[in-house]
Structure 1
Amino acid sequence: MFDSVVRSVLMYGVEIWGWKEYAEVEAVQEKYLRWMLRLRKETPGYIVREECKREKLRVNTGKRAVKYDESLKEREECRILYECCKEKKRKQGKNITSVGKDIMKDWDTHGWK
């Protein structure tokens, strides 16, 4: 039920903001899982996720953001948007933002090329 109702709302627009981890979004998932399992709120989130065999939402948001970036490259009608994003990233290469650092960290962590 979480995936079909709550997660779909939480993931709205994730292709744009998906590179950054938001504690509030993760907290919603953990609070819901604790409620379903009738656990105390002091139970650590990693234990709750492990018990339910769930990953942090950040993993899914990163995958969706990568998929969106790749779709921009492949679709001809998005070519101008892709080139603008590419140029912006090139110009920002010297001053990498925290989001850019998060993206690079995710790529390194997950071995994405």
Structure 2
Amino acid sequence: MHRNGTFNRAHKEFKEKATAAVMKVLNITRRSGVPPLSMQFKLFNSIARATLLYGSSIWAMKFVDDIDKLQIRFLKKLLRLPPSTPDYFVRLETGARDTRLQHLADTLGFWERISRKKKTPPNHCWSQDFLDLLKVAKCENLPSTLTSLVTMRKTLLINYELHLKNADVSRMQNSRFIPHYKLIKLKATTEGYFSMNHSIQKCNLMTQLHTCNFVDRDPNRIVNCDPIHEPIRSRRGPDRGSARGTFHLLGSDRGSARDTK
């Protein structure tokens, strides 16, 4: 713990371990072509629970907004999205369970274990020492408050998840990066093509078509195509600009659109 009360060192170490592990798994799944996306989520969550979220109920309270970035980075690389793609788009398109929500669940579980009284506590018990301090401070009623907090666990998680979803929807409605997305994203749930057992390559194409921000050969020009009104022609079509756009959407063009929001 730092002298200012934050766990900067723990945050850095756990994040580095998680990043290294996730990137290795990403390379393996890319080579093996593991579908569907739900399997990718399971792999990521299992790694995140053992690395990034290990002990997060204690050290991560000041880093809540940062612990979700690893999942977003993982999904952007998996779907071959440009780094400038807004985070809200990734969460809304994939329906990924926010890592911050899992952190809250772990924290509530930690408080539940603290408030649970044991007949034979161990000789060195942090929770018992904490309760003894509360008695000295004449705050014996706090454990009952903790118990009430635990009973409201399901409601708290639902409300927090709703708050995160509403924040992403608000960003979507006010975004200038992909202004058409609010017209095609009618529900804040996982897009159907992710549950159809498609290959990762097909999922990449569908996801990138929804962003429809891609770079033409001219590095100074960004072409925005609305998938509803502007069908993309084949590579052999007369419009070479559209063909190059399609080639980029398949992941062959390394250029990426700049975030204009």
Q: Do these two structures clear the TM 0.5 threshold for a shared fold by scoring above it? A: yes
Q: Which residue of 2 aligns with 1:56?
A: 98
Q: Does the C-alpha gap of structure 1 residues 83 and 47 become closer, same or farther in structure 2, counting only changes over 3 Å?
A: same
1:17 aligns with 2:59: yes
Q: Does the C-alpha gap of structure 1 residues 46 and 8 become closer, same or farther in structure 2, counting only changes over 3 Å?
A: farther
The letter of the residue matching 2:129 is L
Query: What is the rounded CA distance, in whole Å, between the counterparts of 1:39 and 1:85 in structure 2?
Result: 51
Q: Which residue of 2 aligns with 1:42?
A: 84
Larger radius of gyration: 2
2:111 aligned residue (69, 73, 91): 69
For residue 19 of structure 1, report the CA deviation from its aligned partner: 3.2
1:110 aligns with 2:159: yes
Q: Does the C-alpha gap of structure 1 residues 3 and 49 become closer, same or farther in structure 2, counting only changes over 3 Å?
A: same
The higher-RCO structure (CA 8 Å, 6+ apart) is 1
* CA RMSD between the two structures: 2.8
Q: Which residue of 1 aligns with 2:69?
A: 27
For residue 23 of structure 1, report the CA deviation from its aligned partner: 4.1
Contact 2:65–2:100, Cα closer than 8 Å, also in 1: no
Deviation readout 1:9-48 (Å, 9 max, x if unpaired): 1111112134334444222111101011111111111110
* % identical aligned pairs: 25
For residue 56 of structure 1, report the CA deviation from its aligned partner: 2.5
Runs of 5+ consecutive residues of structure 1 not aligned to the other structure: 91-106
Structure number with higher helix proportion? 1
Runs of 5+ consecutive residues of structure 2 not aligned to the other structure: 1-42, 140-155, 161-261
Q: Does the C-alpha gap of structure 1 residues 39 and 7 become closer, same or farther in structure 2, counting only changes over 3 Å?
A: farther
Query: What is the rounded CA distance, in whole Å, between the counterparts of 2:95 and 2:133 in structure 1?
Result: 36
Query: What is the rounded CA distance, in whole Å, between the counterparts of 1:54 and 1:38 in structure 2?
Result: 16
Count of residue correspondences:
93
TM-score, normalised via structure 1 length:
0.64
The letter of the residue matching 1:16 is I
Give matches, 1:88-99, under 5 Å: none
SS in structure 2 at match of 1:10: coil
Query: What is the rounded CA distance, in whole Å, between the counterparts of 1:86 and 1:17 in structure 2?
Result: 22
Query: What is the rounded CA distance, in whole Å, between the counterparts of 2:100 and 2:132 in structure 1?
Result: 26
Q: Does the C-alpha gap of structure 1 residues 28 and 60 become closer, same or farther in structure 2, counting only changes over 3 Å?
A: same
Query: What is the rounded CA distance, in whole Å, between the counterparts of 2:96 and 2:87 in structure 1?
Result: 10
